[in-house]
Structure 1
Amino acid sequence: MKFISRASVVLRTYPVTVSVTILLIMTAIVTGNLTQGAAHLSSLDLGAGITSTLQDQRWWTILTDLFVAHDLTQFIIDLIASIVLLGVAERLLKPLRTALAFLITGLLGVGLGITLQVLGTAAGEWWATGTRTLETLDPLTPVVGVLLTATAYMSTLWRRRVRVVAIAALLVFVLYSGAPSDIYRLIAAGIGIPLGWLLARGKTRRSLEHSPRLVRRRLLATMTAVTAVGPVIALTQPSGLAPFSLVSGIISGNVVSASTVLEQCGQLVHSACTKSLLLASGHGTGGVAMAFVPIAVLLVAAWGLGRGRRFGLSLAIVVNVALAILSFIAFNILSLFSDLPEPGWSTLSVVELVGSTLLAVALPLAVAVVLFLNRSYFPIRSSGHQIRRFAVVISLSFAVLFTVTLVTLVIGAASTNRGESSWALIWTSLKPFVPLHLFGWVHVAHQPAFAIGLLIFHWAGPLFWVIFVIGCIYVLANAKSETLVRDQRRVREILKTGGGSLGFMATWPGNNYWFSPDGKVAIAYRVINGVALTVSDPIGAAGNDLQRIHEFSSFCDRHHWTPVFYSVHEHLLPAFETLGWQKVAVGEETLIDLASLDIASKAWQKVRHALNRAARENVTTSWTRWPDLTPDQVSQIRGISEGWVSARDIPEMGFTLGTAAELEDPDVRLMLAIDGDGRIHGITSWLPNYRDGVVIGWTLDFMRRGENSVNGVMEFLIGSAALHMKEAGNAVMSLSGVPLARKPQSPKSSDVGEGEIPPSATPASTTLTRLLDFLAQRLEPAYGFSSLMFFKAKFNPHYETLYMAYPDPVALPAIAIAVGRAYLPDVSARKALSMLRNLAG
């Protein structure tokens, strides 16, 4: 009875998915396509194509194409796609829109695809002419169309993810395989995206002008991976009709049996035998493995690109440039134009041949250029020690394996009395380390005839590249300056003696460090535009502020930098006044005295309501660390964070504003709001504040709420964190600083609701304060600094102004640029001005 009840719920929720799945199973049983061959399939007259649909006037094949699988492999794929992808889409679209999208994208995808083939055939185009007699059975076409239609109803993060992955996968098959069904799917996807927008009435359209750094890196990594996987598809489906199908030629060749050639040649040496031996020397198991070397290296490079590694960028650029050169040699581009046109060739055929060949060279070269132009998105560099160690290991490995191969060839030549020259033996020894066609134009010696020699000859190259790939993975996985790692350890030790409420930000990526001569004080800074911009106060035990500031200033002078102390607290101002420096308020920090916290008081009334509401919704908190999270929780947090970033048409800020990357620090604590089903509604992160080796408080850094989260989840999380810290005996809780904001004055802070802006104090006006006020007004609609300030006011805090201190007013333009680039490192000056104009408009 329980099973019937569940089945009824599934049928009511997913009627289209269930119906399509049943139809796929029924047609597979009735047609017998799972066990019969192609002849049986063509006899059923169910496939769509120019011949069947138009010439034979079997119009119904456009419909049957959507429900009949071609063979067992496709049936399994279609069945899984129907249950999973169609089910996900139907949950978003609801049954009626799902059925509509299924028919529209499926029928138009196949119909327009056939029309495209007709037009191409009439023009004499290669692909259309070569595929005109083929028939397709592909239920995956409407499934892809429905999935892309449903992306309009997804969150911004998942919409972008699904579209990028789906379109990339579809393009790979179109460009490297070129089967008619590949074109039909791409057309269905292209119809699905605007169809979804129409069904959703345009509510979900977003601009991608300011794509976040993480998203851009992933797009570039995906592009690199696609160019790596493409040749594999071209090899497995060698129709030769796809635009990039020729790319597979640089890693393949005519298979020749080495043993057969050696047996036929015997002791004779002539041109035909040499040519056959040359071909044979590139084949065998090792030769097949060598075909996949560029693919493996590019996939490793793509993995490094996704992690922001500069070494991965260099690797991807070098491999793609090498593939372009290899393609140029393999296809003999220089002689291509002199051999054309041949009698009977149409102009279109000539253009297609030349175009496909040139594309094989241009594609990897274009990828290399795009990666080079976007090199700023890959800032994480490996240390010089790691690079040197990698170079030494790779060089020694190559030298040893090359020497062994050369000795093997010399022994083989001596045993057969072949008079090979030294240069021929050297060239032949290099051959196992590169794909087949690179030395195809050079006369080389043959491979050894004895068993051990053949084993060494065929496997020396693959073994070298295995070592190379492992070395690359090691460098990419450990791409951190060892000096910087040591400095970060020192900073963490000094930080425990004292660092202020914002001191832990010094541990974030992107900072450099200055240490006092006695090693007891450190200052974290970033050099931008000739300005050494510090991250809050000096770190270490209090005292000797004037001396530390003077020592750091002298250090900056030696490097011709302008020292600027940013987000420093008021207790440092006397030292700056002594030095004659200027100061300006750049933000406000909100602090809560945990000892006097009374959650039952009127001042905490709104927070108390949020706590009660969460309790009614069965939402609880978890005070934890990133290493202690479950894989599901990690996935949810990343999804919430990336969704928040992707939903905005503005770049994410950094510097003193943490991102999701800082959550993984084991010293950082996380406060999660979790319901009874394990769904995370919101997350806050807390940075430790040390004094004399003991945590005396925590500073709020990262705040994100999930979609459809319980109302007041941020108030609930911060209020719960305050209660937890008070119970743990902590003295102070900081809600961190808010850039370009002023503390509210009147009415009472605790009576201010979220989004309500009370009057603020008006400091003495200067050119710089007017500029900051202008920026605050322009950036407020996008980043909501004032709204955030007044949201924090409901926690009844007290305020401490944060200042920027600088020695020379003449340097203010350079300082302003440095601060802007610190917060928005991915935005150029032109983009910044454009963003300000858009916000003002």
Structure 2
Amino acid sequence: MAAVYSAVIALVPPIRHLLRPVTGLIEMAVFPVEPNLGYAVFLGILAGALARHKRSAYWVLMVIYVLLVLGNLAVVLSSSLMPDLVEEFALTRQVVASEVNLVVSAVVLGILAAAHDEFFAPTRRASFRKALVTLGSLLAVSFGVGYALVTVFPGTLKARDHLPWALERALGGAATLDLYRSGRPPSWVNFVIGLLSAIAVLVAFAVLFRSQRARAELPPESEERVRALLAAYGSRDSLGYFATRRDRAVIFSPSGKAAVSYRVVAGVCLAGGDPIGDVEAWAPAIRAWMDEARRYGWAPAVIGASEAAAHAYARAGLRVLELGDEAVIETGAFGLEGREMRGVRQAVNRVKRAGFTLRIRRHAELSPEEMRHIIECATAWRGTETERGFSMALGRLGDPADGSCVLVEARDADGKPAALLSLVPWGADGLSLDLMRRDRDSDNGLMEFMVAGLVAEAGEFGVKEISLNFAMFRSVFEEGARLGAGPVLRLWRCTLVFFSRWWQLESLYRANAKYRPRWVPRFLAFDDTRDLPKVGLASVIAEGFLAVPSLSTLLRRGEHGGVRPPVPARPGQDA
């Protein structure tokens, strides 16, 4: 609240003058506020870090209140020792304000001291030193720009006051170098310096309060334990196999019978899919995962949880929202007959007439040369620079450890590869779609041809269910298009259709709906409603729709000419 108030009175001068008595009351009884953007940003970042139980933020606040107590105590003692000066300069009101603020600050300081154990989230090593260097460098830039501006546009400010005034503004009003200065430059100069100082504080405290980074890595021993749990309980969740992604971490229940797979992105501890393992051990695994997030000040969240897992996360204290539905084809009930399947049937027949053929094999059946060629095709057909996916993608086509995965190839009349599907195991009798690629110059209908062909031969692989893509907000598209849909639902559907121009929400729903699948709801779980924007951003980054490279990544790219260096293969893996 103090941050918002400081920002408002900094940006709107009429309100600043109107609320001057209120500002004095807040400073006397609550917390110092300043009409300065840099100070407002500082308070906002500090408040967010305190809400995440950051230890460094706690000590910053302690220093602030210690300084407040010492400053007010000095004023009160001076007034007691020199009462004549107080009466002569009419400082009685200031002395009373200092007395009130001394009491308030002392009480808050005592509460903070008693609550020391509540602030336990660590910061990264050397963060304080890096934050000081960052702050000093950027404030120096703010001071330099401010001094140049006030020299060119001095307003009524005298020449000898240019340098101290610029220094005061760059420091955000934290220090006053001349109490008797008269004159001021144009208000926009003050705004520019305040904005630069705000950016400096924002960056510096972001460096100081940034979350402890977790290693996005699945060690071989943890992967073996995850695969053992999947072998015993993998049929419960179609997304279970994606927990073997090696850019995820995993935390097990005390008994080792269940685990939560996650990655830390933008301060969010983002779990994907359901917990792996015995349902009876889900609760201890979820508690261990949430304790880990709480320890480091991460916001816990889950993307793509099933209904059973959503109930488990809700019992652990998280809030739950329905995201959309997963399309699941039951191979025994699938067929191309009937009016509803007319579109798929026509696409399949058209591709067959064009001479395309289909080949379905386990990854283990491919030779190294064949797999290398498949990887080259998949990379060439990819429409984005980076591989996308987190909750429903494996991201490592051709790994020897994934020999039980199924590859579906479509080849044209000349035997040239035209499209492919790669699916991961879903228990003993299911498959879950991992990769879907096709040559953009090939015929339309290839995906329908491959899906229908896979279902037709599913019996040879012992497959009864096939999980396809996830359709976000599926119920909105379906219910909003029906006759008699309410105005709110129709408006919501129109909004999603508009955004589908960029994010393909509706087209993905229709691409799945034409197979007449069984729709399985998937949920988003999160801790606090205020964290939803952060959780959304983390999900977008994790799924590969937004790349946020770090400084070290940019330096590495520069060293390798803009090309990512190859990732070393594990022992026994074809590099």
The alpha-carbon deviation at position 631 of structure 1 amounts to: 6.4
Higher relative CO (Cα under 8 Å, sequence separation at least 6) belongs to 2
Q: Deviation digits for residues 175-219 of structure 1, max 9, x if unmatched?
A: xxxxxxxxxxxxxxxxxxxxxxxxxxxxxxxxxxxxxxxxxxxxx
1:656 is the counterpart of 2:402: no
Q: Do structure 1's residue 704 and structure 2's residue 437 form an aligned pair?
A: yes
1:490 to 225, 228, 231: 225
Asked if 2 retains the 8 angstrom alpha-carbon contact of 1:636 and 1:680, the reply is no
Q: Secondary structure at the match of 2:448?
A: helix
* Alpha carbons of structure 1 residues 567 and 614: separation in structure 2 relative to 1, 3 Å: same
**Cα distance change on mapping 1:746 and 1:532 into 2, 3 Å:** closer
Correspondences of 1:750-761 after superposition (within 5 Å): none
- Aligned-residue sequence identity (percent) comes to 27
Deviation at 1:760, TM superposition (A): 12
Match of 2:547 in 1: 827
Flag the 1:786–1:637 CA change in 2: closer, same or farther, 3 A: farther
Q: 1:763 to 1:818 in 2, by over 3 A?
A: farther
2:331 aligned with 1:594, yes or no?
yes
Give structure 1 stretches of 5+ with no counterpart: 1-383, 385-479, 748-756, 831-841
Cα distance change on mapping 1:656 and 1:679 into 2, 3 Å: same
Q: 1:783 to 1:645 in 2, by over 3 A?
A: farther
Q: 1:596 to 1:625 in 2, by over 3 A?
A: closer
Aligned to 1:620: 357
CA-based RMSD: 3.6
Where 2:523 maps in the other structure, the secondary structure is strand
Distance in 2 separating the partners of 1:561 and 1:761: 40
CA-to-partner distance for each residue in 1:399-446, whole Å, 9 max, x for gaps? Answer: xxxxxxxxxxxxxxxxxxxxxxxxxxxxxxxxxxxxxxxxxxxxxxxx
Assess, with a 3 A threshold, how the Cα gap between structure 1 residues 682 and 728 changes in structure 2: closer, same or farther.
Answer: same
Say whether 1:720 aligns with 2:432. Answer: no
CA offsets 1:68-126 (integer angstroms, 9 cap, x no match): xxxxxxxxxxxxxxxxxxxxxxxxxxxxxxxxxxxxxxxxxxxxxxxxxxxxxxxxxxx
Do 2:251 and 2:288's aligned partners in 1 also have CA atoms closer than 8 Å? no
1:629 partnered with 2:366: yes
Residue type at the aligned position of 1:588 = D
Equivalent-residue separation in structure 2 for 1:539 and 1:631 (angstroms)? 31
Distance in 1 (CA, whole Å) between partners of 2:473 and 2:246 is 23
Partners of 1:633 and 1:680 within 8 A in 2: no
Cα deviations by residue, 1:15-73 (Å, 9 ceiling, x for unpaired) = xxxxxxxxxxxxxxxxxxxxxxxxxxxxxxxxxxxxxxxxxxxxxxxxxxxxxxxxxxx
Q: 1:554 to 1:660 in 2, by over 3 A?
A: closer
Name the amino acid aligned to 1:828.
V
Distance 2:357 2:544 in 1: 35
Q: What residue number does 1:252 align with?
A: none
Cα pair 1:586 1:740 within 8 Å, conserved:
yes
1: distance between equivalents of 2:476 and 2:329? Answer: 14
Q: Which amino acid in 2 is paired with 1:661? A: R
Q: Is 2:291 the counterpart of 1:550? A: no
Distance in 2 between the 1:592 and 1:491 partners? 26
Please list, as runs of the form range in 1=range in 2, the aligned pairs for 1:397-476 lying within 5 A after superposition. none
Q: 1:798 and 1:686, CA in 2 relative to 1: closer, same or farther beyond 3 A?
A: same
What is residue 260 of structure 2 aligned with on the other side? Answer: 523
CA distance in 1, matches of 2:408, 2:544: 27
Deviations 1:777-832 (A, max 9, x none): 676334423202111111111212211111222322332232222123762399xx
1:599 partner SS: coil
**Residue 808 in structure 1 maps to residue 541 in structure 2:** no
- Indicate the residue corresponding to 1:796 in structure 2: 516
Question: Amino acid of the residue matched to residue 785 of structure 1?
Answer: L
Alignment correspondent of 2:131: none
Normalized per residue, which structure has more strand? Answer: 2
Partner of 1:267: none
Aligned partner (choices 409, 414, 421) of residue 677 of structure 1: 414
Deviations 1:290-318 (A, max 9, x none): xxxxxxxxxxxxxxxxxxxxxxxxxxxxx
CA distance in 2, matches of 1:656, 1:716: 26
- Contact 2:257 2:281 (8 Å CA) reproduced: no
Residue 520 of structure 1 and its aligned partner are, at CA, apart by 1.2
- Could you tell me whether the CA contact under 8 Å between 1:588 and 1:743 is conserved in 2? no
Question: CA–CA distance in 2 between the matches of 1:581 and 1:784?
Answer: 29
Shift of 1:720: 0.9
Q: Determine the C-alpha separation between the residues in 1 that align with 2:220 and 2:487.
A: 42
What does residue 378 of structure 2 align with? 641
Q: Indicate how the Cα distance of structure 1 residues 615 and 778 shifts in structure 2: closer, same or farther if over 3 A, else same.
A: closer
2:343 corresponds to: 606
Q: Relative to 1, partners in 2 of residues 1:495 and 1:743: Cα closer, same or farther, differing over 3 Å? A: farther
Once residues 484 and 786 of structure 1 are traced to their aligned partners in structure 2, the CA distance between those partners, rounded to angstroms, is 38
Deviations 1:579-632 (A, max 9, x none): 442112223201122232233344333333333333323322111244543566
1:488 counterpart letter in structure 2? E
Q: Deviations over 1:509-539 (max 9, x none)?
A: 3110111111111211001222211010001
SS state at 2:297 partner: coil
- The one-letter code of the counterpart of 1:543 is E
Q: 1:783 to 1:652 in 2, by over 3 A?
A: farther
Greater share of helix residues, 1 or 2?
A: 1
Deviation at 1:684, TM superposition (A): 0.7
TM-aligned CA deviation for residue 729 of structure 1: 3.7
Quote the residue 1:33 is aligned against: none
Preserved contact between residue 743 and residue 799 of structure 1 (Cα < 8 Å): no
Q: CA deviation at 1:719?
A: 0.8
Superposition TM-score, scaled by structure 2 size: 0.51
1:688 positional shift: 0.7
State the match for 1:584 in structure 2. Answer: 321
Contact 1:568 1:803 in 2 (8 A): yes
2:424 — aligned with what?
A: 687
- C-alpha displacement at 1:697, in angstroms? 0.6
Cα 1:808–1:507 shift into 2, 3 Å: same
Query: Cα–Cα, structure 1 residues 595 and 567, in superposed 2: closer, same or farther, change >3 Å?
Result: same
What amino acid is aligned across from residue 732 of structure 1 in structure 2? E
Give the whole-Å Cα distance in 1 for the aligned partners of 2:511 and 2:376: 24
Larger Rg: 1
Question: Match of 1:797, as an amino acid?
Answer: P
Cα distance in structure 1, aligned partners of 2:285 and 2:485 = 32
Q: Structure 1 residues 507, 762: closer, same or farther in 2, change over 3 A?
A: farther
Which residue identity lines up with residue 458 of structure 2 in the other structure? M
Question: C-alpha separation between the residues in 2 aligned to 1:744 and 1:556?
Answer: 35
Distance 1:651-1:777 versus aligned 2 partners, 3 A rule? farther
Deviations 1:638-660 (A, max 9, x none): 444333335x6x76532125376
Separation in 2, partners of 1:731, 1:610: 24
